[in-house]
Structure 1
Amino acid sequence: MAVEKNNNGLQLLDFWVSPFAQRCRISLAEKGLPYESLEQDLSNKSELLVRANPVHKKIPVLLHGGRPICESLVILQYLDEAFPEAPALLPSDPGARAHARFWAGFVDTKVFECGVRLWKRKAGSEPQVQARKEMVEALRTLDAELGDKPFLAGEAFGFIDVAVVPFAAWLVSYGRLGEFDVEEVCPRLVAWAGRCGERESVAKSIHPPEKVWEFVGFLKDKLGDKE
């Protein structure tokens, strides 16, 4: 993305397929905040990335006037606080805010971590079979949490939806790796992903499932178990 005028001094250290970076892009779009996307080569980390996130050396990092804010969920909360004039993603009620943070954390500790084990571990191995079991349980849990609501956040698209929706593009890959039918496991979640994908902020920030599947193949070839 080219530099935009009046971008509030916002720059995002980015990576095209990262669901964590995509969260930040969706949030920025929902808030109407222009920014500069700085795509990173994660195989050859830039001096800027290492300097901005010396602890983890990972994207995403939001630079606001040169000041770094690291970790995607922290960035989402920061944007709510730093730009109170923009539409808020977190609800105002403390209990509802805690609820939103819980489910955002659930996706990171359950869905993402299981997904890594699905592509990294050898197909049919005990660790991969266990990851499949945990992934199915996690997706069913999310499906139950969604229930009959239009969005995970309730009647309106919100913080939980922003946190979870980037992983929707990975559902096809999870199903193929784990050899399960995603629409059978989490039908309401699949329908929810379709609704979210109609939003401009989401459509412009995530990639088609087949493109993600190609990237998963790259990860398996480069980092997956060989034996």
Structure 2
Amino acid sequence: MEEEEGEVKLFRTWSSPFALRIVWALKLKGIEYDTVYEDLANKSSSLLEYNPIHKKVPVLVHGGKPIAESLVILEYIDEIWNQNPLLPQDPYQRALARFWAKFGDDKVWESMKKVFMKEGKLKEEGIEEAKENLKHLEEELKAGGKRFFGGEVIGFVDVALGWLANLPSVLEEVIGLSLITQQTFPLLSKWTHEFANAPIINQHWPPKQQLVTKFKAMHQIFMNKQA
């Protein structure tokens, strides 16, 4: 396809779980690309030009054309490069995949943020919200009866929820709270192991100790603001 041609660049940071989605998608598709690492405290003029509304990563630039927002980028990648499809072919299943990916961002991610950033009653509310949201994911895995959310191979929902295979264990080291265990969510716990250790996924995780150090510093900042 003519649309497949053109240089591919990914603007990202080393730690962004949203940018990591794009890394996985490009690797799963076998697409060559250049990485541009951004310092979000000193954003480049290119990032501000390519994403003037949100001014954040990730941004995919394909043939000089920028695409922002990670779930939008994932769909773009899947439409442009047909090999190893991420989304199902059936329209209804595609709609469900989009639903669960958005649920992950709007509900699961936001409740996890509350657990990490708040204290006292608000933190307890966040824990209950997170557990309820994770319960829905557990039930979805049970209903599907497959290895991954996408079936027997990694798909759109797996990539979108991939941060759950890594960040909760980082947060456990920072705040001493474990939400996804074999006892609480056995299927989700199994999925995190399967996903995290899949070869293409496993090769691209950020260094865990660096993430722990970063999140400890962030957590301290949040706590100081609330003191």
Decide which of 46, 59, 62 is 2:60's aligned counterpart.
62
Decide which of 19, 22, 28 is 1:21's aligned counterpart.
19
Alignment check: 8 A CA contact 2:88 2:94 kept: yes
Decide which of 114, 132, 135 is 1:137's aligned counterpart.
132
User: Offset at 1:211?
Assistant: 4.1
User: 1:110-161 deviations in whole A, cap 9, x for unaligned?
Assistant: 1211122222213xx2211111111111112111111132111122211111
1:95 alignment counterpart: 92
Alignment check: 8 A CA contact 1:119 1:216 kept: no
Query: Per the alignment, in what secondary structure is the counterpart of residue 185 of structure 1?
Result: coil
Partners of 1:38 and 1:219 in 2: CA distance: 24
User: 1:24-44 deviations in whole A, cap 9, x for unaligned?
Assistant: 000000000010111110111
Q: Cα RMSD over matched residues? A: 2.0
Q: Give 1:68's aligned amino acid.
A: P
Q: Give 1:212's aligned amino acid.
A: L
Partners of 2:116 and 2:169 in 1: CA distance: 12
Alignment check: 8 A CA contact 1:169 1:212 kept: no
TM-score for both structures, normalised by structure 1: 0.88
User: Offset at 1:180?
Assistant: 4.3
Alignment check: 8 A CA contact 1:153 1:160 kept: yes
Alignment check: 8 A CA contact 2:169 2:178 kept: no
Alignment check: 8 A CA contact 1:8 1:34 kept: no
Query: Per the alignment, in what secondary structure is the counterpart of residue 89 of structure 2?
Result: coil
Flag the 1:219–1:22 CA change in 2: closer, same or farther, 3 A: same
1:171 paired with 2:177, answer: no
User: 1:46-84 deviations in whole A, cap 9, x for unaligned?
Assistant: 111111100000100000012100000100100111223
Select between 113-122 and 21-30 the one with higher mean Cα deviation.
113-122
TM-score for both structures, normalised by structure 2: 0.88
Q: Give 1:15's aligned amino acid.
A: T
Partners of 1:180 and 1:193 in 2: CA distance: 13
Query: Per the alignment, in what secondary structure is the counterpart of residue 161 of structure 2?
Result: helix
Q: Give 1:21's aligned amino acid.
A: A
Flag the 1:180–1:197 CA change in 2: closer, same or farther, 3 A: closer
2:32 alignment counterpart: 34
Count residues in correspondence.
219
Q: Structure 2 unaligned runs (5+)?
A: none
Q: Structure 1 unaligned runs (5+)?
A: 1-6
Q: Give 2:185's aligned amino acid.
A: C
Alignment check: 8 A CA contact 1:12 1:60 kept: yes
User: Offset at 1:223?
Assistant: 4.1
Larger RCO (CA under 8 A, 6+ residues apart): 1
% identity of equivalent residues: 35
Q: Give 1:63's aligned amino acid.
A: V
Alignment check: 8 A CA contact 1:9 1:66 kept: yes
Alignment check: 8 A CA contact 2:180 2:188 kept: no
2:195 alignment counterpart: 196
